[in-house]
Amino acid sequence: MTVSVFDFEAELGACAAGDRAAFLALYRQESPAMRALALAMLDDPGAADAVLHETFVLIWRNAAGYSPAIGTARAWLYSILRYRASAHARQMRSEGRHPAENTPLPQLRLPADAPPGSVAGALASLPGPQLDALLQAYLHGGDPARIAARLDRSEPDIEASLDAALAHIDKAVCA
């Protein structure tokens, strides 16, 4: 059985050169997962679809601005999505609507046998309070005070949990 590996960097480079087929390949490869993340962040299918559309428009327009020096191409795609979803969440809050920050966090299905040096392995080994703080920060954004209010914990506790979680992941993955 052959496992194909999607080359995000090559496809993004081709997008920068105006290759529509490469853009379509990126969209087909990543749009389902990106929409799921947008939906988890916003809890509004219409807003998630709008964010996904805006994200891919920005990817197409700014593909030439991607540089491997800033990180992987896939991470670059998701950073655009998270930025757009955060902007939509702020807009929803200003309109009196409440994005997904008031909904329960999704249950992560982390493999029990995740390799120790993997991100999944590092996440699986985090204590619950650290994982909850990290998921809130990643999915719903906001400062530690907002996260503390959502989780009914103190702001210093959230800051310590986030610091410890990021240090743990960095040590586990980058060691």
**Per-residue pLDDT, 3:** 47
**Per-residue pLDDT, 73:** 92
Q: Mean pLDDT in the chain? A: 84
Single residue among 75, 99, 123 that ends a domain in this structure: 99
- Same domain (yes/no): 92, 109: no
**Per-residue pLDDT, 55:** 97
Tokens standing for residue 73:
């191409």
CB 58 within 8 A of CB 84: yes
pLDDT surpasses 70 at 5: yes
Q: What is the per-residue pLDDT across 79-130, written as a single tens digit (0 to 9) for each?
A: 999 889 888 888 887 787 766 555 665 566 666 677 777 777 888 888 888 9
pLDDT surpasses 50 at 20: yes
Domain of 79?
7-99
Q: What is the per-residue pLDDT across 143-169, written as a single tens digit (0 to 9) for each?
A: 788 888 888 899 899 999 989 988 888
The sign one gets for the Cα dihedral 174, 124, 159, 36 is: positive
Choose among 152, 78, 8: nearest CA to 86: 78
Question: Mean pLDDT, to the nearest integer, of 1-27?
Answer: 88
For the chain, report the end-to-end CA distance as a whole number of angstroms.
Answer: 32
CB 88 within 8 A of CB 51: yes
Confidence of residue 71 (pLDDT cuts 50, 70, 90): confident
- Same domain (yes/no): 74, 156: no
- Same domain (yes/no): 12, 90: yes
**Per-residue pLDDT, 1:** 42
The total number of structural domains in the chain stands at 2
Evaluate whether residue 1 is within a structural domain: no
Single residue among 54, 82, 99 that ends a domain in this structure: 99
DSSP, collapsed to helix, strand or coil, labels residue 99 as coil
pLDDT surpasses 70 at 36: yes
**Per-residue pLDDT, 175:** 62
- DSSP annotation of 71 reads S
In the chain, % helix, strand, coil (3-state, to 5) comes to 75, 0, 25
**Per-residue pLDDT, 59:** 97
The share of the chain scoring above pLDDT 70, in percent, equals 87
- Same domain (yes/no): 33, 20: yes
How far apart CA 148 and CA 113 sit, in angstroms, is: 31
pLDDT surpasses 90 at 141: no
Q: What is the per-residue pLDDT across 90-100, written as a single tens digit (0 to 9) for each?
A: 888 778 776 65
How far apart CA 63 and CA 13 sit, in angstroms, is: 7
- Same domain (yes/no): 143, 171: yes
CB 34 within 8 A of CB 133: no
CB 30 within 8 A of CB 77: yes
CB 120 within 8 A of CB 162: no
